[in-house]
Amino acid sequence: MGSTQFGNFHNFCRDSTLPVCNLFVPNNQPPNQAYGGCPLLGINLGHGKRLGNLGSILIAFFAIPITIYLLLRSEKKKAAVGRREIQIFLAGYILIEICEIFTVGAFPLDATIRKGFTAVHLAAITATCWTLFLNALVGFQLLYDGTPISISLFLVSAGILFIGTGYIALDTAYSWTGHFNSSLSGNNPNIGLYVLYLLFPLVCLFLFYVLETILVIRVLGEKRPMIYLTGATFLFAIGQIFDFVISTHICEPTNGQINGALFETLFTLLAVVVIWLFWNSITEDDWPAASTSYLTSNVPTDNYLTSNVLPDNFRTTNAR
C-alpha cells in the first residue's frame, strides 16, 4: 500500500477495497478502478454488470446466521454479567455484515442505493466498535449491567455516533450541503470520516483489549481467557493486513478475480466469534477451585455476582 496523508482516502481506495470508497466517486464499479488501482472484476454477468468479491459476499451472508446463533446462546446465560451488552455488540455486527454484502466488492446495484448502504455500513462500524469498548467497562461493574441505565447508555451513545457518522457519509455522498465536496476529487480528503471510520474504531478496540487484560489478569487472576482475547486481536489484525497491505498483491496476479477484502471479511468474522468465546469463558463456572472461591457470590440474585474480595463496584461473574 502506498503512503497516505492524514485525512486522505485516495491511496487507501486505490490499494484496498473499503466501503467508504463508494462515497467519493459517481460509481465505484468495478471497485478500485476509479482510483487507478487493480479493479476487482469478479464474474461477468453480461449487459455491463459484474459480480465481484463473491467470497466476501458469501462470508458476510453466512456471518449473519452465525452471529444470530451466538446472540441466542448469550440469551441462555441468564446470570452472566454483560449478557444484554454483548448482545448489542453482536446485533451491531449483524448490521455491518448485512451492509457489507452490498458495499464491499462488485454487486449489481444502483450507485445511489450503494452509497446509502455504505453510509449505514460506516455508521454501524463506528457504533459497534464503541459498544465493544463499553462491554469492557461492564466487567468492572461501574454500572449494574442489564439495567435500564446501562442499556440506555449503550444505545444512546452508540446512536449518537451512528447518526453523526451516517450524516457525514450521506452528506459526502449526496452533497446535501456541499461542505464535503472537496472529498470528491484529488486525494479525497475527509477528516470527519477518517477519524470516525478509521481512527476511532481502532482506539476503541485498543482500549477494549487493555481493559479486558486488566480485568482478566488483575481482577480475575486468570490467564486462560487471554488466549481468546489475544487470538481475536491477532485474527482482526491479520484481516486488516490483508485488506490494507496485501490486497493489491493478490488482485494483480489473479487478474482482478479476488483481493484482500475476502480475507478481511473472513478473519473479522473469526475475530468476532473468538471475542464471544472470550466473553463466554469469563462467565462460566469452570474455573479452578481457587479462582471459583474468588468469584463466588453471596448475593441472592440472578443478574449480579459480588466478589468476596473485591469492593462492590468491581463485581464480575463467571456463573451461567
* Cα–Cα distance, 150 to 138 (Å, whole number): 9
Residue 300 confidence (pLDDT) above 70: no
pLDDT of residue 286: 41
Q: How confident is the model at residue 89 (pLDDT cuts 50, 70, 90)?
A: very high
Give percent of the chain with pLDDT exceeding 70: 87
Residue 229 confidence (pLDDT) above 90: yes
| pLDDT tens figures, 237-269 | 999 999 999 999 999 998 888 899 999 999 999
Residue 283 confidence (pLDDT) above 50: yes
Hey, where are the domains in the chain?
A: 53-282+299-314
- Strand 43-46 to 49-51 pairing: antiparallel
Among 42-51, 134-143, 223-232, 304-313, the range with the most confident prediction by mean pLDDT is: 223-232
Q: How confident is the model at residue 181 (pLDDT cuts 50, 70, 90)?
A: very high
Q: What is the CATH number of domain 53-282+299-314?
A: 1.20.1070.10
pLDDT of residue 3: 52
pLDDT of residue 12: 95
Judge contact between 85 and 138, C-beta under 8 A: yes
pLDDT of residue 284: 62
Amino acid at 73: R
Least confident window among 142-151, 153-162, 177-186, 290-299? 290-299
* Cα–Cα distance, 136 to 142 (Å, whole number): 11
Q: Which three cell numbers stand for residue 259?
A: 483481493
Residue 296 confidence (pLDDT) above 50: no
Residue 154 confidence (pLDDT) above 80: yes
Q: What SS3 class is residue 46?
A: strand
Q: How confident is the model at residue 220 (pLDDT cuts 50, 70, 90)?
A: confident
